[in-house]
Amino acid sequence: MNHGTALLWKRRALSSLSATRRGLPKEKMTENGMMSRAKVLTIDTINPTVKKVEYAVRGPIVQRAVELERELSQGMKKPFAEVIKANIGDAHAMGQQPITFFRQVLALCSYPELLSDSTFPEDAKSRACRILQSCGGRSMGAYSASQGIHSVREDVARYIERRDGGVPCDPDDIYLTTGASDGIVTMLKLLVCGEGASRTGVMISIPQYPLYSAALAELGAVQINYYLNEEKCWSLDIPELQRALDEARQYCNPRALCIINPGNPTGQVQSRKCIEDVIRFAAKERLFLMADEVYQDNVYADGCQFHSFKKVLFEMGPEYSDTVELASFHSTSKCYMGECGFRGGYMEIINMDDEVKDQLIKLVSVRLCSPVPGQALMDLVVNPPQPGEPSYDNFIKERTATLSALAEKAKLTEQILNTVEGISCNPVQGAMYSFPRITIPEKAVKEATENGQEPDMFYCMKMLEETGICLVPGSGFGQKDGTYHFRMTILPPPDKLKILLDKVKEFHQRFTQQYS
Amino acid sequence: MSQQAVNGVPCRGKVLTVDNMNPNVKRVEYAVRGPIVQRAVQIEKELREGVKKPFTEVIKANIGDAHAMGQKPITFLRQVLALCSYPELMEDNKFPEDAKKRAQRILGACGGHSIGAYSASQGIECIRQDVARYIEKRDGGIPSNPDNIYLSTGASDAIVTMLKLLVCGEGRDRTGVMISIPQYPLYSAALADLGAVQISYYLDEEKCWSLDVAELRRALNAARQHCNPRVLCIINPGNPTGQVQSRQCIEDVIRFAKEEHLFLMADEVYQDNVYAEGCKFHSFKKVLFEMGPEYSSTVEMASFHSTSKCYMGECGFRGGYMEVINMDPEVKTQLTKLVSVRLCPPVPGQALLDLVVNPPQPDEPSYATFMKERTAVLSALAEKARLTEQIFNAVPGITCNPVQGAMYTFPRITLPQKAIDKAKEEGKVPDMYYCMRLLEEEGICLVPGSGFGQREGTFHFRLVWLPASLLPPVHIQTSKSFNLMRFYVTTLYCLNPDD
């Protein structure tokens, strides 16, 4: 057959394909009898895994809160004068002050002409010079190496060594990321493979920080829930890990175990023994360990101490430290810095296969690099003013003030909430949140269900409309069936926090009364 | 699974290996920071350690990183960023009033008046308003709704997010995405990562890399046999080719997208980088709206911009935005939900973008300096573009299309059969072999054309002509130390690998 005939046959074959097969949508008849075409991108044709993604921390209740703020600013009358966004761990938005030293160095890095300005201390200037020297063209505007600025990774490694009592840290195992979220999603992406019953399963706590469930939904991985023990202050229980794992093995291939310590939303600080047990469990069951440690400086309760997974791993000896694959995550968003907007973070990878490491480096190179201001900030966090340096006293003063304010607020929150009948709050051992259990009357549960709402969403929505306080319902984080919670940040200044807590108390009493 | 025993003790394989990791990730390649760059970094390390080389420094002409190559930041932008970082500087009379005003406006829109607070996930509202106004001014008054603006972590972030939304279906119904050959390899990497089908359409090298609708049609029809084509990506001005599409061409593309029911993605990050006489940037949105409601109310489109290129070159800040046009409201809700999971784009980058779209005005104190710096940067770029084209076209075996825009040249190189055979012997793609030789012998790091895509049997490389050391100022062009002449020598050398 000649070329022309072949072409003709092809054209005929193509045109005889249905419109949909040729990629064109069916024509739709509209109300006024006109033919119109559906859009290219509709709810039926978007990525199905995206539809499964939920992120309660900025979900429907927060959207309503933003709407209310708009209405208030337009002069609408409400039972409250302002909306209080106690839904998100955003310290600066709630009045926490940035650390002076950090902001001085960042200003110097942004506009190096300020290096000749005598109002800046010498140690700030020398940090800025060091950072700029490591930047292309001595500018924060240059791309950095995809793994992050080398000297910053060296400083991170030294920080980790100091923190972990000398356990060695290789800068090549450090990846600077766009917040910890970026590193977490990247690691999860690497781990996901398989189909059907061999699809990767990832263990995560209930309750959890919903980045994990969102990422797993998006990646089409299987979420394996293990319950934290509310009766024992949200502690982690190995038999429960075992139960969850054994069950999951029937329908997926469990490969990773995620721990958030200190916990979010629960604030529990795991004991050293617990961390050892988890490591032993991961080694035995061949699980890749992911340790989310972004709240490592936020530890308040007496008798509680932060133990890094890496430190414990190495103290357990080479049988574990040579074999267990671990990724630890940290961020500039929490602790005493609260610099969420800079999107600074890092992950340290232990015992990763060399070929996988090459793949990881390749993967992060596609997005070029994490924001350089965030990398600079991380450098200061891991390399703060030292005793003897001009900024030291002020730095320690500010850091201490922030951390002790948080400790005070943690205590206050637990105290006040526990005076409310129908609210029961575990000690806030660490992090930035309380996750109290609330009793919701049957009548309210019924009304919520009739409205197609989770009962604790129903509760939180009512609280928002009546008091202007925006919290996140426990259903957004996960909880045992039949129990209800909310997550509230401890961040507002103490006097404001007290007013907030009293309002929550009043609301709960009103609500309980209303639905009794 | 247990591996070979070591001294009698069985050792188990790792949990995470190349055999059980995400298979899509394995398919990802990104040549701009690929193997040749890794070798360049190694060589730099060797130089530092005192190893003797035929050169004293490696010139990294592989990546569009203006500041790394000596371009200076715009003073006004950095002043405002410093004020935002450390508001105590508001008392400092070293800073002009307009910089302070901009900083106050930005801080007023931040939680707790701090750039350390998270912003709304779609980006700070007043910045999105400023972006919308910028777009309206740029496009001669065509309205832009701030709610259609999404600030992002560089343009790359938004491009990946849009592609992610668009990918669905299995097997022959899997989403196909049209992208140019040559292309900026973020696209091929993202499509591999998402498991979408890449549909390549060839730009016409003989016609200065122009886009040909007949070629689009050919590619589309061929693709319909094995996937479900839904998206058409255009980079204008182009990367790596630098072509600036004519208005007619843009209209034709829009018409084609409408006919064939494709979602249009217009990557316009080089919109200020236009140099050639007779060339002009026409935004896809502007042309779309000037084509009338039959198109402007139906064609679904996303346009992308960034703070990394143009006259700013602020790559490290990761600032960017996309504008979505005619997006289905339910899809928009999904998009808004998706970006919320990552909380927000970096606030310093958002602040920077605000200044880019809201620069000093004629009546403001910083205006004169701002214009002077902006003009200097853009005219230096134009000069380098012209010079590069001139010099390369004087080298036998190198043909260089006019560099109409962007920051790159993508010349075609003729490699003799001997060189091609040598490359094959070494298991390398011929243009990678050429580029590796250039790196090892002259210390110049480029990216081979195979990293971007090219017609079978042709070879190219992409050179970023930004480096000051590559192209010294005009008055010492004829100096013996003129580095580009090294190309001449090296190319001759490569053409005769036995010499």
Interface of B with A in 248-267 (CB under 8 A): 260-263
Chain B CB contacts of A119 below 8 Å: 92
Contact status of B458 with chain A (Cβ, < 8 Å): no
| The model's pTM | 0.93
What is the pLDDT, as a whole number, of residue B396? 83
Q: Please classify residue A197 by burial: count the beta carbons closer than 10 Å to its beta carbon, then call 0-12 exposed, 13-18 middle and 19+ buried.
A: exposed
**By C-alpha distance, which of B194, B436, B162 is closest to B303?**
B162
Percentages (nearest 5) of helix, strand, coil residues in chain B? 45, 15, 40
Could you identify the residue written with the tokens 């399963």?
A201
Element (DSSP H or E) covering residue A508: helix A494-514
CA A510, A512, A514 angle in degrees (round to 5)? 65
Tell whether the torsion through CA atoms of A239, A242, A244 and A246 is positive or negative.
negative
When mean pLDDT is compared across A494-498, B286-290, B350-354, the lowest value belongs to A494-498
What is the pLDDT, as a whole number, of residue A11? 53
pLDDT in tens, A45-71: 999 999 999 999 999 999 999 999 999
Q: State the CB neighbour count (10 A cutoff) for residue A2.
A: 7
pLDDT at B5 over 50: no
B84, B107 Cβ separation under 8 angstroms: yes
The whole-angstrom separation of Cα A10 and Cα A18 is: 14
Q: Compute the mean pLDDT over every residue in chain A, rounded to the nearest whole number.
A: 93
The whole-angstrom separation of Cα B33 and Cα B36 is: 8
How far is the alpha carbon of B347 from chain A, nearest alpha carbon, in Å? 5
Question: Would you list the DSSP string of A377-441?
Answer: HHHHHHS-PPTTSTTHHHHHHHHHHHHHHHHHHHHHHHHHHTTSTTEE-----BTTEE--EE---
pLDDT at A421 over 90: yes
Q: Please classify residue B142 by burial: count the beta carbons closer than 10 Å to its beta carbon, then call 0-12 exposed, 13-18 middle and 19+ buried.
A: middle
Question: In B146-305, where does DSSP find H-type helix?
Answer: 154-166, 186-194, 213-223, 247-259, 284-290, 293-296
pLDDT in tens, A179-208: 999 999 999 999 999 999 999 999 999 999
In this prediction, residue A27 has a pLDDT band, given cuts at 50, 70 and 90, of: low
Residue type, A40: V
Both tokens assigned to A82:
């302002």
Closest residue in A to B172 (Cα–Cα): A21
How far is the alpha carbon of B499 from chain A, nearest alpha carbon, in Å? 36
Contact status of A34 with chain B (Cβ, < 8 Å): no
Residue type, B308: S
The whole-angstrom separation of Cα A425 and Cα A200 is: 35
Interchain CB distance below 8 Å, B86 and A24: no
What is the pLDDT, as a whole number, of residue B389? 87
* Cα B486 to the center of its chain, rounded Å: 27
What is the pLDDT, as a whole number, of residue A6? 54
Tell whether the torsion through CA atoms of B53, B55, B57 and B63 is positive or negative.
negative
Both tokens assigned to B233:
């990506």
State the span(s) of chain A assigned CATH 3.90.1150.10. 52-78+394-515
The whole-angstrom separation of Cα A429 and Cα A110 is: 38
Interchain CB distance below 8 Å, A193 and B156: no
Question: In B68-96, where does DSSP find H-type helix?
Answer: 75-85
Q: Does the predicted interface ipTM exceed a cut of 0.90?
A: yes
Contact status of A188 with chain B (Cβ, < 8 Å): no
Interchain CB distance below 8 Å, A356 and B164: no
Both tokens assigned to B485:
């002449």
Interchain CB distance below 8 Å, B79 and A146: no
- Strand, coil or helix: B301: strand
Both tokens assigned to B139:
């496009």
**By C-alpha distance, which of A11, A293, A49, A6 is closest to A159?**
A293
- Strand, coil or helix: B245: coil
A500, A492 Cβ separation under 8 angstroms: yes
Domains defined along chain B, listed by start: 25-63+370-495 (3.90.1150.10), 101-357 (3.40.640.10)
- Looking at B289-371, which runs of residues are DSSP E strands? 301-306, 319-325
The whole-angstrom separation of Cα A492 and Cα A500 is: 9
What is the pLDDT, as a whole number, of residue B3? 43
Contact status of A152 with chain B (Cβ, < 8 Å): no
Q: Cβ neighbours of residue B257 under 8 Å, at least 6 residues apart?
A: B232, B263, B264, B299
pLDDT at A4 over 80: no
Q: Which CATH number fits domain A105-382: 3.90.1010.10, 3.40.309.10, 3.40.640.10, 3.40.50.300?
A: 3.40.640.10
B362, B371 Cβ separation under 8 angstroms: no
pLDDT in tens, B78-93: 999 999 999 999 999 9
When mean pLDDT is compared across A3-12, A444-453, B97-106, B381-390, the lowest value belongs to A3-12
State the span(s) of chain A assigned CATH 3.40.640.10. 105-382
The whole-angstrom separation of Cα B423 and Cα B448 is: 13
The whole-angstrom separation of Cα A241 and Cα A246 is: 9
Cα Dmax for chain A: 89
Contact status of A53 with chain B (Cβ, < 8 Å): yes
What is the pLDDT, as a whole number, of residue B204? 96
**By C-alpha distance, which of B399, B391, B408 is closest to B488?**
B391
What is the pLDDT, as a whole number, of residue B487? 56
Interface of A with B in 246-275 (CB under 8 A): 255
Contact status of A406 with chain B (Cβ, < 8 Å): no
Beta-bridge mates of residue B235: B267
Tell whether the torsion through CA atoms of B172, B175, B180 and B186 is positive or negative.
negative
A88, A58 Cβ separation under 8 angstroms: yes
In this prediction, residue A37 has a pLDDT band, given cuts at 50, 70 and 90, of: confident
In this prediction, residue A33 has a pLDDT band, given cuts at 50, 70 and 90, of: very low
pLDDT in tens, B36-65: 999 999 999 999 999 999 999 898 899 999
Interchain CB distance below 8 Å, A14 and B73: no
CATH superfamily label, A52-78+394-515? Aspartate Aminotransferase, domain 1 (3.90.1150.10)
What is the pLDDT, as a whole number, of residue B474? 42
**By C-alpha distance, which of A197, A200, A179 is closest to A188?**
A200
Closest residue in B to A116 (Cα–Cα): B94
Q: What is the dihedral of CA B238, B313, B439, B402, to 10 degrees?
A: 30
Q: Cβ neighbours of residue B277 under 8 Å, at least 6 residues apart?
A: none
Contact status of A146 with chain B (Cβ, < 8 Å): yes
Question: Would you list the DSSP string of B401-430?
Answer: ----BTTEE--EE---HHHHHHHHHTT--H
- CA count, 13 A, side-chain hemisphere, B43: 25
CA B31, B36, B41 angle in degrees (round to 5)? 120
Tell whether the torsion through CA atoms of B103, B108, B110 and B116 is positive or negative.
positive
Residue type, B289: F
Q: State the CB neighbour count (10 A cutoff) for residue B101.
A: 13
Contact status of B195 with chain A (Cβ, < 8 Å): no
Q: Please classify residue A72 by burial: count the beta carbons closer than 10 Å to its beta carbon, then call 0-12 exposed, 13-18 middle and 19+ buried.
A: middle
**By C-alpha distance, which of A419, A444, A414, A418 is closest to A429?**
A414
Contact status of B492 with chain A (Cβ, < 8 Å): no
